[in-house]
Amino acid sequence: MSSEVNDLEHTLFAFIESSDEAYALFNDQDLLVYCNAAFARLFNAESDFLAGFSFRRLAERCYNTRQGIHIESDDLEGWLRYAEELRRTRQFRSYEVEISGGRWFLFSEQIDKQGRMLVRARDLTAQKQLEGRINHANQKLRHMAMTDELTHVANYRGFFEAAEAEANRCWRTGAPMTLMLLDMDHFKKVNDSHGYPVGDEILRRIAEMTRDALREYDVFGRIAGEEFAIFLSQANDEVGIQIAARLIESIAAMVFTGSADGDPEVRVTASIGLCIGECDTPFEQLFKQAEVALQQAKDQGRNRVEVFHMKKD
């Protein structure tokens, strides 16, 4: 019976020695007493060389040689304290680790009653690369779902998601906010007289001009056929009105080419409804008040800015 056990132990040991998966054994003092060749390769070393290394010494070697476990920290001692606080806190735990060369491994640690720790590491690089490609594809799809195909600015969904997030930030910090709705005046006549290709080009150029006129962190989108929306954070009524007035003037000054020879140059105007929100103004209420202001701008003759001031009770 003991011969069979010895044979079995020898067979298991031979499998571990030749395995592509990494194995290591630490004693109750956290000193490495055994590792197979696959484990040693993770640290760009030989098994015999690593024998007797403590976990701390292994980590220090990785940090100094940039081989083995990737330690992304300027404070090695702080990183070690954090790692040692987690180490040996549970009988079993697993975690993902980046290894030099851009490889990823799933490490598992199991502790027996004598305090010895068996470490196993399995290569996850192919899986992580696949996950990266999937995440990139999902991000691309999400961007497409949030972007207006014609103007390449945010669409209705993209604008509202980004604007509500920015409004929440303003609420938390108490910053003022401004919402504008910009609608092209009599744009159906432009399409009917000059054709949809001309109308599309006008929308593209106006979207480009508006985007360039705004701050990097402002939110801008096309929310309907010829209607755009702009959310300005940290913008009081003076700033909001100045930006809106500049947009109205810039649009009126733009000249567009007609669809064919003999087709006259095309000029357009726009109306803007603007609402100034306070830190307790719900975003939906801001939007409704901006709609009211936009309608007032149209009723007052178009090509103008009208403001609805939201006040606290």
What is the C-alpha separation between 12 and 6, in angstroms, rounded?
A: 10
- Out of 226, 227, 265, 284, which one is annotated catalytic? 226
CB 95, CB 107: distance < 8 Å: yes
Tokens 């949809």 — which residue?
A: 196
* Cα dist from 132 to 123, 126, 127, 137, 138, whole Å: 16, 10, 9, 9, 10
Q: Which SS3 state, helix, strand or coil, does residue 100 take?
A: coil
What is the C-alpha separation between 313 and 310, in angstroms, rounded?
A: 9
DSSP code for 266: B
Structural tokens at position 57: 């010494």
What is the C-alpha separation between 123 and 162, in angstroms, rounded?
A: 38
What is the C-alpha separation between 101 and 103, in angstroms, rounded?
A: 6
What is the C-alpha separation between 202 and 184, in angstroms, rounded?
A: 10
Any catalytic annotation for residue 17?
Answer: no
For the sheet with 103-111, list strands across it. 32-35, 22-26, 117-123, 103-111, 92-99
Q: Which residues are catalytic?
A: 226
